[in-house]
């Protein structure tokens, strides 16, 4: 081998990049004075693109494969460089290796609470977080728009910019979706798909593509969650059973009152009144939620109360008739009665306008 051939052999170089990290997007290949020998070997591996930059201009890009760098496969670069001497001399160019793999498990989240207007709860603050996956699809555009002259560019350099894009699109999507806040958990997939579509153009402008986007959780203040839980339970409650339960508890509390029979009567009356008020309030709320209104059975004019006697409806009775029934022990505090304005039958002892029926009745005669 002649000395000239030996020297030419030493000029041949290998241009490649072996990435031992998981977050490097772009790496600039370093050579002394950026000189690359003619007929140097370029190795571009799967998941990479090689971009040649000459005097600040993108000259050529190479997809995966092995290349001998000469005028045959560098026509644009040779025009810019203007090699002389039969292109036997080295040329100067910057080579950027761009990773085109998917960068997975990229995390995003709202730094501050997002304020939304909900039809049921008004202004509500929510927070959200999740993951996304992206990759570079246009290496030249990515270097031109994002990388600049950085020697190494990783996911840490761009994650804040991408998070800002995602949070902005998330805010738009949730505001336009008009989904009630209590249904967010059941519609995470729908929201993810909507935001995924919005972000496509934003990422494409940087030579990138978002390949997966997931919302893992949407949270809200504890007081809003408490209201949602209470409303959901109320929708499932049997109002009749709840009323009976409240009445039973009121009677039990009155029976344990140490002030005796009079105190028991007062406590029972107050408990029944409270139970009646709760029954009416909850019935009205249930009617509003269901969009229906219950009406009591018609009552002839001048009537006062209907009385349940031996399991049968009796009446109506005016105050004199009720006094007569009380005197005959056919009307007691526990007897169920109904009048216009009540949503259901209630114990007579819970009605304030009937309390004097029992005070007017003399106690039973003592046994001889």
User: Over the stretch 238-274, which tens digit does the pLDDT of each residue have?
Assistant: 556 556 666 776 777 776 765 554 444 444 455 555 5
User: Is 20 domain-assigned?
Assistant: yes
Same domain, yes or no: 175 and 244: no
Q: Report the interhelical angle of 222-236 vs 260-290 (nearest 10°).
A: 90
- Model confidence at 139, in pLDDT bands (50, 70, 90)? very high
pLDDT of res. 20: 86
- Of the chain, the percentage scoring pLDDT greater than 90 comes to 20
Same domain, yes or no: 207 and 260: no
User: Is 80 domain-assigned?
Assistant: yes
User: Is 166 domain-assigned?
Assistant: yes
CATH number at residue 188: 3.30.479.30
Q: Which residues contact 359 (CB under 8 A, 6 or more apart)?
A: none
Looking at 224, 248, 276, the residue that finishes a domain is: 224
Q: Rounded to 5 degrees, what angle do the CA atoms 300, 304, 305 make?
A: 105
**Six-digit token pair at 64?**
């995966």
**Alpha-carbon span 80 to 82, nearest angstrom:** 6
Burial of 43 (0-12, 13-18, 19+ CB in 10 A): middle
- 71-80, 139-148, 162-171, 305-314: range with lowest mean pLDDT: 71-80
User: Is 304 domain-assigned?
Assistant: yes
Same domain, yes or no: 89 and 107: no
In 50-114, where does DSSP find H-type helix? 75-81
Classify strands 40-44 and 14-15 as parallel, antiparallel or unpaired. Answer: parallel
Which of 351, 346, 347, 339 shows the shortest CA–CA distance to 298? 339
User: Is 231 domain-assigned?
Assistant: no
**Helix, strand or coil for residue 130?**
strand
**Residue 183: how many other CB atoms lie within 10 Å:** 11
Same domain, yes or no: 94 and 182: no
User: Is 367 domain-assigned?
Assistant: no
**Helix, strand or coil for residue 351?**
coil
Region 16-26 average pLDDT: 91
User: Is 365 domain-assigned?
Assistant: no
How many distinct structural domains can be found in the chain? 3
Same domain, yes or no: 210 and 315: no
Same domain, yes or no: 129 and 205: yes
Same domain, yes or no: 287 and 327: yes
Same domain, yes or no: 128 and 211: yes
Query: What's the whole-model pTM score?
Result: 0.55
Same domain, yes or no: 48 and 90: yes
**Six-digit token pair at 61?**
């890009």
Same domain, yes or no: 157 and 265: no
Residue 18 pLDDT greater than 80, yes or no = yes
Q: Rounded to 5 degrees, what angle do the CA atoms 168, 174, 179 make?
A: 180
User: Is 230 domain-assigned?
Assistant: no
Same domain, yes or no: 195 and 271: no
**Domain ranges, residue 289:** 237-359
Same domain, yes or no: 303 and 275: yes
- Of the chain, the percentage scoring pLDDT greater than 70 comes to 69
More confident residue, 81 or 38: 38
């Amino acid at each position: 081998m002649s000395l000239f051939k030996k020297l030419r052999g030493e000029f041949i170089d290998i241009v490649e990049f072996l990435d031992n990290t998981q977050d490097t997007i772009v790496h600039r290949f370093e050579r002394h004075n950026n000189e690359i020998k003619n007929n140097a070997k370029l190795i571009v591996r799967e998941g990479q693109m090689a971009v040649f930059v000459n005097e600040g201009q993108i000259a050529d890009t190479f997809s995966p494969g092995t290349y001998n760098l000469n005028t045959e496969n560098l026509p644009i670069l040779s025009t810019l460089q203007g090699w002389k001497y039969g292109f036997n001399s080295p040329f100067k160019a910057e080579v950027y290796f761009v990773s085109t793999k998917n960068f997975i498990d990229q995390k995003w989240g709202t730094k501050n609470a997002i304020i939304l207007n909900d039809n049921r709860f008004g202004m509500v603050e929510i927070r959200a977080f999740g993951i996304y996956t992206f990759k570079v699809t246009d290496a030249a555009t990515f270097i031109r728009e994002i990388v600049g002259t950085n020697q190494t560019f990783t996911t840490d350099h761009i994650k804040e910019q991408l998070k800002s894009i995602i949070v902005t699109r998330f805010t738009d999507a949730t505001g336009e979706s008009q989904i009630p806040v209590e249904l967010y958990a059941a519609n995470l997939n729908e929201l993810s798909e909507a935001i995924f579509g919005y972000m496509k153009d934003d990422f494409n402008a940087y030579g990138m593509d978002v390949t997966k986007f997931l919302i893992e959780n949407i949270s809200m203040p504890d007081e809003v969650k408490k209201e949602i839980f209470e409303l959901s339970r109320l929708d499932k409650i049997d109002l009749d059973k709840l009323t009976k339960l409240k009445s039973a508890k009121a009677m039990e509390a009155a029976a344990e009152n140490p002030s005796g029979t009079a105190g028991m009567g007062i406590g029972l009356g107050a408990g029944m009144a409270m139970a009646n008020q709760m029954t009416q309030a909850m019935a009205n709320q249930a009617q509003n939620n269901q969009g229906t209104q219950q009406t009591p059975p018609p009552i002839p004019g001048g009537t006062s109360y209907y009385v349940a006697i031996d399991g049968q409806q009796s009446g109506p009775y005016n105050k004199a008739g009720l006094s007569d029934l009380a005197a005959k022990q056919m009307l007691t505090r526990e007897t169920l009665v109904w009048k216009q304005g009540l949503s259901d039958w209630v114990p007579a002892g819970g009605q304030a306008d009937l309390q004097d029926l029992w005070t007017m009745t003399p106690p039973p005669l003592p046994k001889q």
